[in-house]
Structure 1
Amino acid sequence: MSILALEQELQTMMGQGQMLEAFDKFYADNVVMVEATGEVREGKAYNREFEVKWLESLEGMHGGGVTAMTANEETGHTCTETWGDFSFKGGQRMKMEEVSVKKWEDGKVVHERFYYNAAGMEQ
């Protein structure tokens, strides 16, 4: 399966609200994730815990989607632009737009870096 097809399946699952299932299926045990703030998180267990806490901070999701996606099959990289409209517990509502660049090996994400406007984001 191409990495573009893998990324499409991952994004489809995310869009259907299967965030943790997609994470479990597509992320390697040694994954490294880098936030736009520069924060580096290493390991699947640690990153899954981060995802769970982020999902628990949400009160509601009002929409979202993929605006662009591409892949370099030779280097094993995908690049996806997404957006989401979220309400957080405590009343804050935010439309988030980000780009993620993933490095895939053997059908799993081993590295992901996020690009977004980090100003004012405290998660």
Structure 2
Amino acid sequence: MDTRQIAQRLVELCREGKYDQAQQELYASDAVSIEGDGQKAEAVTRGFDAIRTKSKEWADNLVEIHGGSVGEPIVAGNWFSVVMGLDATYKDMGRVAMNEICVYQVRDGKIAHEQFFYDMGGA
């Protein structure tokens, strides 16, 4: 798949809430995931297995999802971005509404890099 196809597939799966399937299908084994500006060591996750563990910990912390949104992807070469929103209640933070810009890099037909830019608490 090319970058546009991967972007469309990711959006499709995220809109269906199939985050695990998206990672299984679309992520490279050596993918890197960065939260926010990546300045803290724990903000950078390296490797497919570590990304899956991070996702599982996030899912285990969820109490309830109240709503969400997934925008259309914007593609530029091997990169694409998607605006996503989530209103959810977490065990450790209570109810939080957030919007984020998700940026992805595709290499050899797989997502090799993702980074999330967001402010907590804004709907």
Q: 1:59-88 CA deviation, whole Å, 9 max, x = no partner? A: 111221123420013xx0001111011111
Q: Give the 4+ runs in structure 1 shifted more than 4 A.
A: none
Q: 1:86-109 CA deviation, whole Å, 9 max, x = no partner? A: 111267111111111111012211
For 2:105 and 2:93, the matched residues in 1 are separated by: 35
**Structure 2 runs not aligned, ≥5 long:** none
Structure 1 pair 68/4, CA: closer, same or farther in 2 (3 Å)? Answer: same
For 2:17 and 2:120, the matched residues in 1 are separated by: 24
Name the SS for the 2:14 alignment partner.
Answer: helix
Name the SS for the 1:78 alignment partner.
Answer: strand
State, as a whole percentage, how many aligned pairs show the same letter.
Answer: 27
Q: Which amino acid aligns with 1:110?
A: A
For 1:12 and 1:80, the matched residues in 2 are separated by: 12
5 Å-filtered alignment, 1:39-118, equals 39-73=43-77, 76-89=78-91, 92-117=94-119
For 1:91 and 1:31, the matched residues in 2 are separated by: 28
Number of aligned pairs?
117
When normalised by structure 1's length, the TM-score is 0.85
Aligned to 1:29: 29
Name the SS for the 1:22 alignment partner.
Answer: helix
Query: Shift in Å at residue 4 of structure 1?
Result: 2.0
For 2:36 and 2:51, the matched residues in 1 are separated by: 15
> 104-113 vs 44-53, which deviates more?
104-113
**Structure 1 runs not aligned, ≥5 long:** none
CA contact (8 A) 1:37 1:118 kept: no
When normalised by structure 2's length, the TM-score is 0.85
Structure 1 pair 118/34, CA: closer, same or farther in 2 (3 Å)? Answer: farther
Query: Shift in Å at residue 5 of structure 1?
Result: 2.4
